[in-house]
Amino acid sequence: MPTSRSYGDACTIARALDVVGERWALLVVRELLLGPQRFSDVRRALPGASSNLVTDRLRELEGHGVVARRKLPPPAAATVYELTERGRELEPVVLALGAWGARLPRPEPASLGAVSVLLYLRESARPRGTACYRLELDARVWTVRTEPGRLTVEPGEPAAPDATVRTDPPTLNALLERPAHLAGAIDDGRLAIEGDLAAVRRLLREH
């Protein structure tokens, strides 16, 4: 059930934690940083959280004005969750936590979702050229665009990608750390590429 617990502390840090301090709340925010998501997308990205718990966190965040629900027009006719303007103000907070957490050991075993990898790619990329990629991770499609000094990510199909990449988040993460292993990932079937292979090599190296 949704919680109404409060620290009862006037400190602004405590007041912020009254809104986003519940378990899984900031990870729900993380999943919405790259754009609107359906409930099923958020739930799949958080395998350690039950459906009821994700529902509660979304309801609480909506009640605090951090998240909003929106009905997509036909033919999609689906309900999506997205960050409000107030919710987007949490982005530098979440990214700062990610940078701080990068120095901590990884849990074993551990899941790794598409948004986490794509946020890392976006924040670390230093592209020198212009390109568009169709990136398919765990049956979801993302559009990645580069221009000198900037990389953007958004959910959905690109109009005319230079290359299509199909893989899973752990494989993409491993290749961002070791781009030289691209050929091996293709050979053993963990990754498939259509289009400009050189553009994919640039994407992996320019971060």
- Strands in the chain per DSSP E: 37-38, 67-71, 79-83, 131-137, 140-147, 150-155, 163-167, 192-195
DSSP SS3 for 46: coil
* Res. 2: pLDDT tops 70: no
Nearest to 138 by CA among 65, 40, 54, 64: 40
Measure the N-to-C terminal CA separation of the chain; round to a whole number of Å: 42
Read off the pLDDT of residues 46-95 as tens digits, 9 standing for 90 and up.
Answer: 999 999 999 999 999 999 999 999 998 877 778 999 999 999 999 999 99
Read off the pLDDT of residues 162-179 as tens digits, 9 standing for 90 and up.
Answer: 999 999 999 999 999 999
Cα separation, 125 vs 185, in Å, equals 21
Tokens of 124: 């670390």
Cα separation, 156 vs 172, in Å, equals 18
